[in-house]
Amino acid sequence: MRIQVYGCRGSIPRPHPDMARYGGNTPCIEVVSHNGGHRLIFDLGSGAFDLGQKVLGEMFARKKADADGEAEGKKLPKQGGSIFITHTHWDHIQGLPFFVPLYLPQFQWNIYGPEGAAKTLQEVLSGQMQHDYFPVRLGDMPSSMKYIGLSEDENEGLWLDGNDFLDESDKIEENGHCNDESATASNDPSTTFRVTTKYLNHTVLTLGYKVEEFVLVQSSRKVKGVSVAYITDHEPYDHSLAKGGYEPPKTCDTNGKPKTTADQSHGEFFKGVDVVFHDCQYLYSEYGAQAAQSKENWGHSTVEYVVDIAFHSNVKHLLLFHHDPQRKDDAMDELVAYARSRAEELEKKHKKSFKMKVDAAKEGDVLELDPFLFASEPEEKKLNMSQHSKESITARLSAMHQSVVLGSYKTDMETLSDMLQKDNKNLSAKVLHSCNDIMQYCKDREPSVVVLDQDLFGCTGLQICEEIRTNMGAWGKDVPVLMVASKSGESVEDQERIVKYLNADNYIKGVYSHAYFITRIQMAMLRIPLRWRRASVPPTEELRVATLRKTGLLDSSFEERFDRITRLAKSMFNVPIALVSLVDSDRQWFKACCGLPEGVRETPRDHAFCAHAILQDDVFVVPDAFQDERFADNPLVSGPPHVRFYAGYPLKIPVQDDKCGCGTVSIGTICIIDSKPRDFSRVDERNSLRDFGAMVVREVVNNDLQQPSR
């Protein structure tokens, strides 16, 4: 199950620079099945416009694949899907007229929503598209649309096929069962969706939705995989609970079902769900009679109510949703911090080992939940997000008993050992130096991860790796091994061993930071692929670094001639950060930085997007770092400044060197950064960034300019 947020703001779209990080579009969420076979869309607020563009792009990609004869094996969602409307207030349907796939006849959509007594769902939706308000009527849209009214159904639910790319004999019938018991033995295991519904407490008839993706196993038995609940526009039935104090049901009826109040029934609906999006528009201080304008009976929840009910319902990951249209990004940060501290207080008060993750939904967020992993793995291995925060990694590792052996010769493994164990008392890290000691420890303890220098006392790391892989049984074949490359290079025999016994990514060459190495080890312990790639070193690295250092710019003071350029770039591109970054041998150093906190002048080189940009001949763009395998786990993405978009242009400095045969080398970049994904395909935008780059290069190479002071 892949979940993406296209809109999470409440009431009205807010395209405001101070709301860019969390987003200004009104509600729209996309859920795609594990194998890409079916798409569910929840609400069509203004965020539906961007989702429609994505769906359109997938259609063109499919056509191109068909034309090129490459369609076989591709798993793009089918042309259509299921749209679930929670209610028909304007902020939840205003994107419908601008959802382009509704205008194309090759798309088929089932549109679900609450079944009203006075008007059908189709009649209500068509109201905003009458000629007085919009030039196209709903009935004139060419796509195939079927409208289905829903009522509350917490038990049976609606079964949806998530396997459109399986063979017909392997598909799941509408009731959720396999046509054939052999279906799940195929190489493409199958899943199916079940959608259940619950009435919410809002000012009009409103439904909350819960989606479960089930794994189909042999004998046609369903195994629960993963789940998400979408609960927006809901107010506590008992208004006194808006300030907190929710308690779960404590007694059961004769059938063993909990005896519940209306609010307890609400919590039971999403009990144990993996990810819950819940309306959380207000703080209690903004809601009750004590507020300047009471929000009671407006149909929305408070942070206090939502955190309490989610905690007692054993929700694994709570995402605050339907953000107040007046709440800016900094205020949202404060709201999230308050919600997390409240969750921590509940954990201490109730002495629960269970830890609920709390975030606020951000436009562009993507979560990936693997139903097969959830259905078959222990609790600590369940969450598989496309972007891993430091907090989530630490929390998961803390719940596991792990050991690491660090085979050291010249690498500072003692520091790595201390850093690994600092935040995880359940981790044992052992530093050893001789080959015999390392091999004996591996035989006796079978550590979770093995980390080795290639150069060791008595043998090489690759020789130990070969021994582990060939003579230490099932553990030896499976255990992750990371190796620090020798500075003297590899022989032909060593290169063959690397290919045979190591994943190439686990043979770590060149300069790296402690943060990078620690993250590599942590991800190896969790058996999660690391989505953070260090940039390769250019062939002209020695000349490049020498040229950079000759400029005299490194470690110099700020200068107006460079600061002015970053200010202009920041303003022109409407981004929070613009930099002139110089890429040294082991770091990137900022000659000019507009938008970074005071005192931040450098990062390790393996953190630097600019280290990738200097390898390019032209503008280097990362539209969304969360979706990029090279950057999703980079600390600059998972932590401050929360990079989502990056565009950089290499600063090419003329050189005269007969050996390299090159006329220029790239000493750094001018770059722009945003905490929100964005497109950068317009020719005029790219040309403008090139112009800014030329201005920086002119300042660097102009011999008449005074050298900067040291």
| Higher-pLDDT residue of 634, 494 | 634
Residue 422: per-residue pLDDT: 78
Whether residue 601 contacts residue 557, with contact meaning beta carbons closer than 8 Å, is answered with no
**Other Cβ atoms within 10 Å of 370 Cβ, number:** 20
CB-neighbour burial class of residue 169 (10 A; exposed 0-12, middle 13-18, buried 19+): exposed
Confidence of residue 581 (pLDDT cuts 50, 70, 90): very high
Kindly state whether residues 449 and 549 are assigned to the same domain. Answer: no
Confidence of residue 249 (pLDDT cuts 50, 70, 90): confident
92/85 Cα distance (integer angstroms)? 7
Asked if the model's pLDDT at residue 336 lies above 60, the reply is yes
Q: Mean of the pLDDT values across residues 453-481?
A: 87
Weakest mean pLDDT among 47-51, 156-160, 265-269, 295-299: 156-160
Q: Mean of the pLDDT values across residues 577-589?
A: 96
Of the residues 498, 526, 554, the one at which a domain ends: 526
From the list 356, 253, 282, 257, the residue with the least C-alpha distance to 313 is: 356
Which CATH number belongs to the domain containing residue 582 in this structure?
3.30.450.40
Kindly state whether residues 575 and 652 are assigned to the same domain. Answer: yes
Please name every residue paired with 207 in a beta bridge, in sequence order, or none if there are none: 199
Kindly state whether residues 695 and 604 are assigned to the same domain. Answer: yes
Q: Mean of the pLDDT values across residues 252-258?
A: 71
Q: How many CA atoms lie within 13 A of 38 on its CB side?
A: 23
Q: Mean of the pLDDT values across residues 544-550?
A: 93
Kindly state whether residues 546 and 694 are assigned to the same domain. Answer: yes
Whether residue 183 contacts residue 219, with contact meaning beta carbons closer than 8 Å, is answered with no
Residue 227: per-residue pLDDT: 92
Q: Is 325 within the bounds of a domain?
A: no
Of the residues 464, 499, 526, the one at which a domain ends: 526
Which CATH number belongs to the domain containing residue 502 in this structure?
3.40.50.2300
Q: Is 658 within the bounds of a domain?
A: yes
700/499 Cα distance (integer angstroms)? 43
| Higher-pLDDT residue of 169, 497 | 497
Whether residue 141 contacts residue 232, with contact meaning beta carbons closer than 8 Å, is answered with no
Confidence of residue 656 (pLDDT cuts 50, 70, 90): confident
Q: Is 110 within the bounds of a domain?
A: no
Please name every residue paired with 43 in a beta bridge, in sequence order, or none if there are none: none
- 564 Cβ contact partners less than 8 Å away, ≥ 6 residues apart: none
β-pair type (587-594, 402-407) = unpaired
Q: What is the pLDDT of residues 154-187, one digit of tens each?
A: 888 888 864 432 333 333 333 333 333 333 323 3
Residue 319: per-residue pLDDT: 97
Q: Mean of the pLDDT values across residues 321-345?
A: 95
Helix (H) or strand (E) holding 577: strand 577-583
User: Range of 550's domain?
Assistant: 541-701
Residue 244: per-residue pLDDT: 92
Residue 490: per-residue pLDDT: 73
Give the chain's mean pLDDT. 83
Q: Mean of the pLDDT values across residues 232-243?
A: 94
From the list 658, 399, 413, the residue with the least C-alpha distance to 521 is: 413
From the list 229, 235, 272, 275, the residue with the least C-alpha distance to 42 is: 229
Weakest mean pLDDT among 39-53, 158-172, 675-689: 158-172
DSSP class of residue 571? Answer: H
Amino acid 372 reads F
| Higher-pLDDT residue of 266, 189 | 266
Kindly state whether residues 545 and 692 are assigned to the same domain. Answer: yes
Residue 252: per-residue pLDDT: 76
Kindly state whether residues 551 and 500 are assigned to the same domain. Answer: no
Confidence of residue 586 (pLDDT cuts 50, 70, 90): very high
Helix or strand or coil: residue 304?
helix
Q: Is 8 within the bounds of a domain?
A: no
Q: Is 406 within the bounds of a domain?
A: yes
Whether residue 178 contacts residue 154, with contact meaning beta carbons closer than 8 Å, is answered with no
Kindly state whether residues 507 and 553 are assigned to the same domain. Answer: no
Residue 512: per-residue pLDDT: 82
Q: Is 151 within the bounds of a domain?
A: no
Q: What is the pLDDT of residues 382-409, one digit of tens each?
A: 333 344 445 555 555 554 567 888 888 7
CA angle 459, 464, 468 (to 5 degrees): 160
How many domains in the chain?
2
Q: Is 352 within the bounds of a domain?
A: no
Of the residues 476, 497, 526, the one at which a domain ends: 526
Confidence of residue 134 (pLDDT cuts 50, 70, 90): confident
User: Could you please report the per-residue DSSP string of 116-171?
Assistant: -SSS-HHHHHHHTTSTTT-SS-GGG--SEEEEEEE--EEEEEEEEE--TTS-GGGP
CB-neighbour burial class of residue 283 (10 A; exposed 0-12, middle 13-18, buried 19+): buried
Whether residue 538 contacts residue 544, with contact meaning beta carbons closer than 8 Å, is answered with yes
Kindly state whether residues 512 and 547 are assigned to the same domain. Answer: no
- What are the contacts of 439-442 at 24+ separation with CB within 8 A? 439/464, 439/467, 439/468, 441/405, 442/405, 442/468, 442/472, 442/476
Q: Is 494 within the bounds of a domain?
A: yes
Q: Mean of the pLDDT values across residues 416-420?
A: 82
Phi, psi of 405 (to 5 degrees): -105, 135
Q: Mean of the pLDDT values across residues 672-682?
A: 88
Residue 583: per-residue pLDDT: 97
Kindly state whether residues 399 and 433 are assigned to the same domain. Answer: yes
Asked if the model's pLDDT at residue 466 lies above 70, the reply is yes
244/238 Cα distance (integer angstroms)? 11
Asked if the model's pLDDT at residue 633 lies above 60, the reply is yes
Whether residue 648 contacts residue 670, with contact meaning beta carbons closer than 8 Å, is answered with yes
Kindly state whether residues 556 and 519 are assigned to the same domain. Answer: no
Asked if the model's pLDDT at residue 706 lies above 90, the reply is no
Kindly state whether residues 487 and 554 are assigned to the same domain. Answer: no
The token duo for 546 is: 């020498």
Asked if the model's pLDDT at residue 527 lies above 80, the reply is no
**Other Cβ atoms within 10 Å of 282 Cβ, number:** 26
Q: Mean of the pLDDT values across residues 661-687?
A: 90
Q: Mean of the pLDDT values across residues 582-590?
A: 96
Asked if the model's pLDDT at residue 94 lies above 90, the reply is yes
Kindly state whether residues 508 and 570 are assigned to the same domain. Answer: no
Please name every residue paired with 587 in a beta bridge, in sequence order, or none if there are none: 604
